[in-house]
Amino acid sequence: MNLSGTRSLFPILSSHIHLASCSQGAIAKLVSTAIDEYHKSLVLNGSNWVAALERAGQARAIFAELIGAEKEEIAILCSVSDVFSSIVSSFSDHQNRKEIVFTDSDFPTIGHILYAQEKYKNHFSIIRSSSNGIPLEEYENKVTEKTLLTSLVSFYTKNASKTEKILKEKKIIVSARKDVIRNAPHFYNTKDEIQNALDELSLVVNSD
């Protein structure tokens, strides 16, 4: 994959560092065109269910080839929460790895989905946050060779909305949820971008 060529397909990446790729990431030129075509088809032809399924099948085939999978192994779901639920519910039984570590600052559906898994109900290890956030040492203590899954996408800050606004002024897009900042990099983010974002984030948070 040519990362530079791929990044050129996402207009916003020419001016911003986009780290808000949750269920809705940066939009690509090809996706914008496809949305326009789909809308035009609905306006001119009404229902186009068959055509929509064909395009979804093409997308599955292309993604399968990209990761070395079969088309039949690829499922298209509407959100990260749907994907997470599918992944967790499909885990086979591991004799030596059953512990699931997550925090009380994770996106709410993480906990909701995990608690719905009956076979793991006695194997949860929850890292509690404090006014100072979650020290890295907590992860070091909780995550062991018995850990099957852990989660880390967000962190606390005193004023998440203010932090989000300051970072956006610096052309860095993150997502503020109450008193939490969520970082969600995607394949199109470079190491330099992520490091730059972390450096700026550190400056903003430590200046409060």
The Cα–Cα gap between 37 and 45 comes to 11
Q: What is the mean pLDDT of the chain?
A: 85
Q: How far is CA 107 from CA 11, 70, 74, 180, in A?
A: 28, 31, 25, 9
The Cα–Cα gap between 153 and 189 comes to 15
**Per-residue pLDDT, 40:** 92
Q: To 10 degrees, the CA torsion angle through 61, 63, 65, 67?
A: -150
pLDDT tens digits along 18-57: 988 876 789 999 999 989 998 998 999 888 888 889 989 9
Q: How far is CA 65 from CA 62, 72, 191, in A?
A: 5, 11, 25
Q: How far is CA 50 from CA 35, 46, 57, in A?
A: 16, 12, 11
Q: What is the model's pTM? A: 0.60
Q: Confidence class of residue 64 from pLDDT cuts 50, 70 and 90?
A: very high
**Mean of the pLDDT values across residues 181-199?**
84
The Cα–Cα gap between 87 and 2 comes to 29
**Mean of the pLDDT values across residues 137-160?**
79
Q: Does the pLDDT value for residue 4 go beyond 90?
A: no
Q: Confidence class of residue 1 from pLDDT cuts 50, 70 and 90?
A: low
